[in-house]
A and B are shown apart, each in its own frame.
Chain A
Amino acid sequence: MVISWLRRLPPTLIIGMMILAFYLTVAITARYWAPYTHNKIGVGIPFSKPSNDHYFGTDQLGRDVFSRVVLGADDVLILAISSTLVATVIGGLVGLLSGLVGGWFDQLLMRAFDALIGIPFLVLALLIIAAAGSELSGDTRLLIMVVAVVYAPRTARIARAVAIDLVTRDFVTVARARGESVFSIVWRELTPNAIGALLVEFGVRAGYAPIFIGSLSFLGFGVRPPTPEWGLMIAENRAAIFVVPMVVFAPAGALAGLVIGLNLFTDGLARWIGRSQGAASG
């Protein structure tokens, strides 16, 4: 039963789910089996090559790179998912409402979003970080907010387009003719139909979030050392790429794997939703 159901799912969805499950497992359990803690200095000679003691070698402070990579998984996942979630919920709700209500309310919101989108996103992120001041620099909450502010208008646009498409559908017309309230229409007719598109949107954004946050860390505005964030690790160890490439490639590979997993998962999800919707419409 379960297996036949799994077989009907797009293969990308299954592979994506497997990769994500792997990352989740590592994120949850790493603290119990990682050979060293993330900030223990001098467990080996700085920049030593991968060996049986240090699978991925050691960094410039002689920290075990393998431990730092696996221990970083939870931070990266939590940051990426929570920030995208905040953006999707806020952007999604505002967008749906904007598309439904229409009129000047919609116009005003859309112009505001246009302005936010009109600033290239990394520049916008830096603006917000600058405005927040040095006290907050490196704070997790600030990072979540930065990602949310950058993502939310883009998500809102998508949600609005979905809402505008949905309100012209005949089943909404019938509901209006029945005298249903706006709230009831949003809740009963629109939300179940919009959730798929928003889910895919969430996946796409979540897939880019680790890179985004990594870039900020690389520039020096992300999480604070010695947090084992992969982008930060790459920035710290970059000079060592000539000596021990592994200390850079390990966090880069971890980051890439996560992004690939998220992308495959989203791609599969979109196909799956498209398929069940395709079946629904004929």
Chain B
Amino acid sequence: MIIRLILSRMVLAVLTLLAVSVFIFWTAEILPGDIAARVLGREATEESKQAFRDRLRLDRPLHERYWLWLKGAVQGDFGVSLVDQSQERQVADSIKPRLKNTAILGVYAFALYVPVTIFLASISALYRDRLPDGVISLVNLVGLAMPEFVIGTVLIYGFAVKWSLLPVLSQIQRAETLKEILNSTTLPAVTLTIVMSVYSIRLLRDSLIEVLESEYIRMAILKGLPRYRVILFHALPNAAAPALNTMALNLAYLIGGVVVVEQVFAFQGLGSLLVQSVFVRDAPTIEAVALLVSTVYIAANLFADVMSIVLNPRLRTG
């Protein structure tokens, strides 16, 4: 029963990912105009254009090219970047270092986000409608109204300009020691944390309150259990599933936020690569980054799904 359920979720995730890849490939490849002419310039000879088309297999039908692209992508080969034809730069090569940087940033931000969110949401739920809840809600609302680029800019203004604690621009590509890495990622990570927390504290607070108002919590209290037991053994396990889902959903904000935040701090990551590629309309790079990012997102949602199945005794024991 449970294995079946998990398996079907996995199949569904793979199907979704396939559909995503089709969509990504299709949007990136319908870029209007003759790609060869655009990349090689108007002066290029007909032969060189033809050679370019042959190399990129542009004359083949779309579904065939999709299939070849997908086959490559699974093996980590995303083709050749359209930019700077003289160098024949592999997309995978330009992605790798940036993937690492973004991963560091993402993990750092997530590591900050989870405890902050759980802590603030719990306080808010436990002190419902009282002062701490009011303060948190108010701060939350203000945070909700601030886009990443504003928060980032304000943080730069405070920490980098006024107090000179951290650098204005992130130099992650040159950072080597842990201190340097922290130095260059803290501000972007904090920005991301704020943005994500703002979206999930409210959700988590509401689902916690729902659990706290449930009859089994009331029963646990009226059994004479100490408060810590009520919260630790009765409230938290039952609030875990919604919390996990909230956090997985927030990965979408994390990834979206990364694009903007990297731009704010001139951070050399996947997000800024994507923005640059869209500017120069480098289809293979766009495709690769979009696919990578979507895979992470879908995988995270799958993980949350499976975890909430495993955590639910109703499903676990059939």
Let me know if A165 is at the binding interface, CB within 8 A. Answer: no
Q: Is the CB–CB distance between A115 and B19 below 8 Å? A: yes
Let me know if B23 is at the binding interface, CB within 8 A. Answer: yes
Candidates B24, B31, B142; contact of A133 at CB < 8 Å? B31
* Chain B residues near A135 (CB-CB < 8 A): 32
Let me know if A138 is at the binding interface, CB within 8 A. Answer: no
Q: Is the CB–CB distance between A259 and B144 below 8 Å? A: yes
From known contacts A115-B16, A128-B27, infer whether A242 and B157 are also in contact, taking CB-CB under 8 Å. yes
| Among listed A67-75, A177-185, A218-226, interface-contacting one | A218-226
* Chain A residues near B256 (CB-CB < 8 A): 120-123
Tell me how far the C-beta of B63 lies from the nearest C-beta in chain A, rounded to whole angstroms. Answer: 17
* Chain B residues near A112 (CB-CB < 8 A): 19
* Chain A residues near B99 (CB-CB < 8 A): none
* Chain A residues near B33 (CB-CB < 8 A): 133
Let me know if B153 is at the binding interface, CB within 8 A. Answer: yes
Q: Is the CB–CB distance between A231 and B149 below 8 Å? A: yes
Q: Is the CB–CB distance between A127 and B290 below 8 Å? A: yes
From known contacts A218-B260, A219-B259, A241-B156, infer whether A119 and B20 are also in contact, taking CB-CB under 8 Å. yes
Q: Is the CB–CB distance between A256 and B146 below 8 Å? A: yes
How many residues from B make CB contacts under 8 Å with A?
51
Tell me how far the C-beta of A253 lies from the nearest C-beta in chain B, rounded to whole angstroms. Answer: 9
Give complex CA distance A133, B38 in Å.
12
* Chain B residues near A127 (CB-CB < 8 A): 24, 27-28, 286, 290
Let me know if A260 is at the binding interface, CB within 8 A. Answer: yes
Known: A114-B19, A118-B298, A252-B150. 16 other contacts (CB 8 A): A111-B19, A118-B20, A119-B294, A120-B251, A120-B252, A122-B260, A127-B27, A127-B28, A214-B149, A215-B260, A218-B147, A218-B149, A219-B260, A242-B157, A257-B145, A258-B145
Interface residues of B in 111-160 (CB under 8 A from A): 141-142, 144-150, 153, 156-157
* Chain A residues near B150 (CB-CB < 8 A): 234, 248, 252, 255-256
Let me know if A148 is at the binding interface, CB within 8 A. Answer: no
Majority DSSP secondary structure for residues of A touching B: helix
Interface residues of A in 123-152 (CB under 8 A from B): 123, 126-131, 133-135
Interface residues on A, range: 35 or more
From known contacts A116-B23, A127-B24, infer whether A219 and B263 are also in contact, taking CB-CB under 8 Å. yes
Let me know if B178 is at the binding interface, CB within 8 A. Answer: no
Tell me how far the C-beta of A179 lies from the nearest C-beta in chain B, rounded to whole angstroms. Answer: 37
Majority DSSP secondary structure for residues of B touching A: helix
* Chain B residues near A46 (CB-CB < 8 A): none
* Chain A residues near B148 (CB-CB < 8 A): 215
Candidates B17, B30, B142, B257; contact of A131 at CB < 8 Å? B30
* Chain A residues near B157 (CB-CB < 8 A): 241-242, 245
Q: Is the CB–CB distance between B274 and A126 below 8 Å? A: yes
Let me know if A263 is at the binding interface, CB within 8 A. Answer: yes
25 contacts between A and B (CB under 8 A): A115-B19, A115-B23, A119-B297, A121-B256, A126-B275, A127-B286, A130-B277, A130-B278, A131-B28, A133-B31, A134-B281, A214-B147, A214-B149, A218-B260, A220-B279, A234-B153, A238-B149, A256-B145, A259-B144, A259-B145, A260-B141, A260-B144, A260-B145, A263-B144, A263-B145
Give complex CA distance A264, B138 in Å.
11
Q: Sort A-B residue pairs by CB-CB distance and give the 8 closest, nearest first.
A: A115-B19, A122-B256, A256-B145, A259-B145, A120-B255, A131-B27, A211-B147, A252-B150
Let me know if A235 is at the binding interface, CB within 8 A. Answer: yes
Give complex CA distance A255, B19 in Å.
36
* Chain A residues near B281 (CB-CB < 8 A): 130, 133-134
Give complex CA distance A264, B286 in Å.
37
Interface string of A226-268 (1 = CB under 8 A from B): 0000010011001001100100100010011111100110000
Tell me how far the C-beta of A3 lies from the nearest C-beta in chain B, rounded to whole angstroms. Answer: 26
Give complex CA distance A241, B41 in Å.
40
* Chain B residues near A264 (CB-CB < 8 A): 141
* Chain A residues near B20 (CB-CB < 8 A): 115, 118-119
Tell me how far the C-beta of B103 lies from the nearest C-beta in chain A, rounded to whole angstroms. Answer: 15
Q: Is the CB–CB distance between B275 and A219 below 8 Å? A: yes
Tell me how far the C-beta of B36 lies from the nearest C-beta in chain A, rounded to whole angstroms. Answer: 16
Interface string of B248-265 (1 = CB under 8 A from A): 000110011101100100
Interface residues of B in 257-294 (CB under 8 A from A): 257, 259-260, 263, 274-275, 277-279, 281, 283, 286, 289-290, 293-294
Give complex CA distance A258, B145 in Å.
8
* Chain B residues near A118 (CB-CB < 8 A): 16-17, 19-20, 294, 297-298, 301
* Chain A residues near B7 (CB-CB < 8 A): none
Give complex CA distance A214, B252 in Å.
18
Give complex CA distance A133, B283 in Å.
11
Interface residues of B in 7-25 (CB under 8 A from A): 12, 15-17, 19-20, 22-24
Let me know if B161 is at the binding interface, CB within 8 A. Answer: yes
Interface string of B81-116 (1 = CB under 8 A from A): 000000000000000000000000000000000000
